[in-house]
Amino acid sequence: MLQSSKTPVPFQSNRRFSVLEILQFIVLASLILYFGKTLFIPLSFSLLVGFILYPICKWMETKGINKGIAIVISILGVTLLAGAIIYLLFSQFSEFLQEWQSLSAKLTETTKQLSIFLYERFGVSIEKQTEFINNTINNSGSQAFSIIRDTAYSVSESLFFLSMIPVFSALILFHRQMLSNALYELFPPERKKTIHEILIETIHAYYNFIKGMLVVYLIVGLLNSIGLLIIGVPHPFLFGFIASILTFIPYVGIMISSLLPIAVSWITYNSIWYPLAVVAVFSIVQALEAYIIFPFAVGSRLKINTLVIIIVVIVGGIIWGAAGMILFIPFISIIKLIADRTPSLKTLSVLLGDGEKKKTTK
C-alpha cells in the first residue's frame, strides 16, 4: 500500500463558501441521508468493513493468494466474529430463561409484599390496586398491534442490513481499483495525488476508529466489573465484559446483558436493592461511555474535538438512529481530511480539529 506524503497537497481553490451555501448543503445532505437510509446504512457499514479489511486482503494478495479467495477469507472472518457476538447475545437470553422460574416466583412474592405495603401504609385497597392494573393492561393492549408492527419492521430491516453488508463489502473490495479510478476521473488530473492521499488517510482513520472502539470496550468492561464487584454480584468480570462487548448493539445490547446479573443478584441476596444497584451501575457507565469515554477515546485518535464528536453522535442518532451514532463519526473524519486540504474550507478544518497545531519543517 502506497504511503501518503508528509506535506499534504491542498485543493487549489480560492473561492469561499458562504454561510447560506453551507446551510443549503447541510439540509440537502441530511434529507438525502434520511430518506435514503435503507440503502446508505448497509452501504456505509460495508464501506467501513472494506476499509478495515483492505490491508488484510492486500497482504494476502502479496503472499500469492488469489484476490477473490483473499476477500472471501476476510469476509468470512468478520462474519464469524459477528456470529460469535450474536451467539453470545442469545446465550445470555437462554441463561436468563433458565432462571425464569425462580425469578417469576420472586416477582410474585415481591408484588404481594408491595400490595400489602400500599394497603397498610396508604390505605389503597386490593380491589383498587387490581382495577388499576387491569386498566393499565387494557390501555397497553390497545397499543400492542402498533408495537408489534414496529418491532417486526425493525427486525426485518436489521436482517436486511446484516444480509447485505457482506455482499456489499465483498463487491467493494473486489472492484476497489475500478471505484478508485472512477473517483479520480471526477477531478482534474493535477488533483489525483491529493485524492489518493485522502483515500490512504481515510483507511488509516477507520483503522484508528476501530482501535478507539477497542479502548472504549476495555474501559467500559473494567468500569462495569468494578461496579458489580463493589455491589457483590457473583462473577463480576464475566458479566461486566459481556455487557461491554454487547454495547456494540446500542441500547438493546446493554439491556439484554443486564438481565442475567439482575436475576442472579435478586436470587442470591433476596432483596430488590441489589438489582436496582446493578441497573444503576450499568446506567452510569452507559452515560459515561456515551458522553465522555467514547468521544474522548475515539475523537482523540481521529484528531477531532470532543464537542464535535458529541454533536455528531446526536445528529447521527436523529437521522439514522443507532446506526448513525456509530457511522457518523468516521464520516466526519473524512470531511475533516478533505477540509484540511481545501483552502476554502479552512474554517471548517479549524472547527473540527482538536486544537493541536501541526509542526512544520522549513
- 226 falls in which pLDDT band (50, 70, 90)? very high
- CA neighbours within 13 Å on the CB side: how many for 206? 20
Tell me if 265 sits within 8 A of 233, measured CB to CB. yes
Higher pLDDT, 135 or 80: 80
Q: In Å, what is the CA distance from 262 to each residue of 192, 224, 257?
A: 57, 13, 9
| pLDDT at residue 227, rounded to an integer | 92
Distance CA 307, CA 352 (A): 9
pLDDT in tens, 288-343: 887 788 777 776 666 777 788 888 888 888 888 777 877 888 788 888 887 887 77
- Global confidence as pTM: 0.65
- Torsions phi, psi for 290 (to 5 deg): -75, -40
Instruction: Please name which of 340, 333, 342 lies closest in space to residue 304, comparing C-alpha atoms.
Output: 333
- 235 falls in which pLDDT band (50, 70, 90)? confident
pLDDT in tens, 118-157: 777 777 777 777 777 767 666 655 565 666 766 667 777 7
pLDDT in tens, 1-45: 444 444 554 444 555 666 677 778 888 888 898 898 888 888 888
